[in-house]
Structure 1
Amino acid sequence: MTETNESLWRAPFAAEPLDATVTIPGSKSLSNRYLVLAAMGTKPVTLIGLLRSRDTELMMGALEALGVSCVADADDETTVVVTPPENGVFRGDSSVFCGLAGTVMRFVPALALYADGPVHFDGDKQAYQRPMGPLLEGLRQLGARIDFEGEPGHLPFTLIPPEQAVGGSVSIDSSGSSQFISGLLLGAPKLRGGLRLTHTGEHLPSLPHIRMTMADLGAAGADVRMDGRTWTVAHGDVQLPQQVVVEPDLSNAAPFLGAALIAGGTVRVPNWPEHTTQPGGLLPEYLEHMGATITIEEMPNGARTLGVTSNGVIHGLGDFDLSAAGEIAPSLAALLVFADAPTSLTGIGHLRGHETNRLEALVTEIRRVGGDADELADGIAIRPVASELLHGAVMETYADHRMATFAAMLGLRIRDIDVVNVETTRKTIPDFVGLWSSMLG
């Protein structure tokens, strides 16, 4: 591995099969949900194994702006004590910086309903392109006033909370992101009349993430139910247990486990949960369909280590509905560039509204290295090409961490892949380059 200049990183080429164990940091999705729920409670909560990345730092910074205390253990920064405001009222006349973190810009505004003054929200310039309208419309229906400072339905804006957050019925179209639903659900228990939330659109992306939100609310004592496309949350206290352990981020395991298929050999990930609400929990099943051998080793401490072994032959998936785990689409796309048959990944049209338009970005970068891909109305089609047609290139990442890991995966089998701004991986993996290099020995 060499850096060609300050902005490019040469992705390592795998000269031999892998034999590696990679410890994956905590789940971003769970970390930021637990941080919000801890802030909603009345007693301090200790989060163990919390992901420390840009997105979680932004979430802690947002909560601290609202008067929440987030203090890391002096000896282990992944152990963080979260203490909510003494009176349960969040600090108004404050400013929240969201960066490019979807969970921050879409989860924290609901907390501002309970602030004692206006709360200003801003973020990275690229975040101005990410849709916020349905969430903000839901908050408006709950009595908030939203003053936009740029394009309506987008950052930046100021939320002026109602005199009293009374709750009631809300209807929004959450077709663009499940985070609109999750954001409203997370803030709902403090509404005096609870919440009845209805999704009006035809398509609902990433239902597993909504189920994750519901499970986390339930763990905090909330009464939340789903009936078709309607959710009800009863008014009541929420309080996470005194200590909560964060699972490893299973979607962030995808590039590493997928590397075993591209390079051949075996990659193991410790602490794989037996049961999980993370969409990444579906990854072993998908990799098995693609030709990998999956093993589970029970460790003496009760933990489980997942192993993925491959001879380097990757099978295509045909017409494959990925709606249950769209966030791992870039990792699967990298594998499918080297597959033995075409694949159409569908059910992931909402990826156009992530950190970048991921479908367009994936097609562009696959073609950049000589591959064959097209956008579909609701996904992406990838067709195999002869290996000699694939070639090195400077690959863009679009400030999107999953596009950076996608490029690194391609570099395992395509020489001379240079990656622009690999540091964008710090969004969810603090030391991706170090972990990736260690995996290759």
Structure 2
Amino acid sequence: MKYLVKKFDQPLKGAVQLTSSKSESNRALLINALSGNQLQLHNLSAARDTQTMQRLLKESGEVWDVLDAGTTMRFCTAFLAVKGSGQTITGTPRMCQRPIGVLVEALRKLGAEIEYLGQDGYPPLKIIGIKDQQASLIEIPGNISSQFISALLMIGPSLPDGLTLRLTTEVFSRPYIEMTLDLMRRFGVQSLWEGNEIKIA
């Protein structure tokens, strides 16, 4: 097979539209859902994790299956703690081997009722949700997955007393936390990060 390549005498001018990253898209979808889906989002990632997030946020089933989407598992666990009605969240066998205990413990301190349906510290989970907020200050290590921290930050505005996260160790994934806070600002959420504390009204 032969190809004919033509040389242009002048530079080409144009623009290539790139889709958003999975990290940006999944955060934007969750924040929008928490704020009542007031905005129509465009240019979302085509990744399966993002497609799974969109599917789950549109349905009202009793079982939320995230498949193998780790970001979706962590973000939707926090979402169901403030917006759910007793759903079970699960995933593939491999997903049910990925630890989620740090996030569950933090949500329990906030007042969520969460039951492990298998091994403690791992999905699947039965999430009753937060009826009365039990705390507004949560201590959590900074060297864990930023997805745990981001999940908590994003539900902060939905809590009656807001949320302050005190990071008890060095922060390993600061850019991803800053991405979360920046996207929240675009939805009108004010935050303050001073020292080792992040405050969400």
TM range (shorter): 0.7 to 0.9
Contact 2:84–2:127 at 8 Å: present in 1 too?
no
Q: Distance in 2 between matches of 1:135 and 1:100?
A: 18
Give the 3-state SS of the residue equivalent to 1:232 in structure 2: strand
Contact 1:114–1:165 at 8 Å: present in 2 too?
no
Contact 1:167–1:192 at 8 Å: present in 2 too?
no
Match of 2:8 in 1: none
AA in 2 matched with 1:46: Q
- Indicate yes or no: 2:22 matched with 1:28: yes
- Indicate yes or no: 2:44 matched with 1:50: yes
Give the 3-state SS of the residue equivalent to 1:45 in structure 2: coil
Deviations 1:203-260, CA, capped at 9 Å, x for gaps = 42211000000001111111111122211100xxxxxxxxxxxxxxxxxxxxxxxxxx
Contact 2:84–2:128 at 8 Å: present in 1 too?
no
Q: Which has the higher strand share?
A: 1
**1:86-105 alignment, distance < 5 Å:** 94-105=62-73
Judging changes above 3 Å, is the alpha-carbon distance between structure 1 residues 56 and 43 closer, same or farther for their aligned structure 2 residues?
Answer: closer
Judging changes above 3 Å, is the alpha-carbon distance between structure 1 residues 220 and 23 closer, same or farther for their aligned structure 2 residues?
Answer: closer
**1:74-93 alignment, distance < 5 Å:** none
Contact 1:119–1:158 at 8 Å: present in 2 too?
yes
Q: Which has the larger radius of gyration?
A: 1
Name which of 165, 177, 182 aligns with 1:197. 165
AA in 1 matched with 2:112: A
RMSD: 2.1
- TM-score scaled to structure 1, two decimals? 0.40
Structure 1 range deviating more: 147-156 or 213-222: 147-156
Deviations 1:184-207, CA, capped at 9 Å, x for gaps = 00111010000011122x342211
Q: Distance in 1 between matches of 2:172 and 2:92?
A: 24
Q: Distance in 2 between matches of 1:62 and 1:43?
A: 14
**1:128-147 alignment, distance < 5 Å:** 128-147=96-115
Judging changes above 3 Å, is the alpha-carbon distance between structure 1 residues 174 and 128 closer, same or farther for their aligned structure 2 residues?
Answer: farther
Judging changes above 3 Å, is the alpha-carbon distance between structure 1 residues 29 and 192 closer, same or farther for their aligned structure 2 residues?
Answer: same
- Indicate yes or no: 2:173 matched with 1:179: no
Match of 2:122 in 1: 154
Cα deviation for residue 123 of structure 1 reads: 0.7
Contact 1:175–1:203 at 8 Å: present in 2 too?
yes
Deviations 1:281-317, CA, capped at 9 Å, x for gaps = xxxxxxxxxxxxxxxxxxxxxxxxxxxxxxxxxxxxx
Q: Distance in 2 between matches of 1:158 and 1:23?
A: 40
- TM-score scaled to structure 2, two decimals? 0.84
Cα deviation for residue 52 of structure 1 reads: 2.1
Q: Distance in 2 between matches of 1:174 and 1:129?
A: 22
Q: Distance in 2 between matches of 1:124 and 1:174?
A: 28
The list of structure 1 runs, each at least 4 consecutive aligned residues, that deviate by more than 4 angstroms after superposition, is: 21-24
AA in 1 matched with 2:80: A
Instruction: Work out the number of aligned pairs and report it.
Output: 187
Give the 3-state SS of the residue equivalent to 1:213 in structure 2: helix
Name which of 221, 228, 231 aligns with 2:195. 228
Q: Report sequence identity in percent.
A: 34
Q: Distance in 2 between matches of 1:116 and 1:57?
A: 20
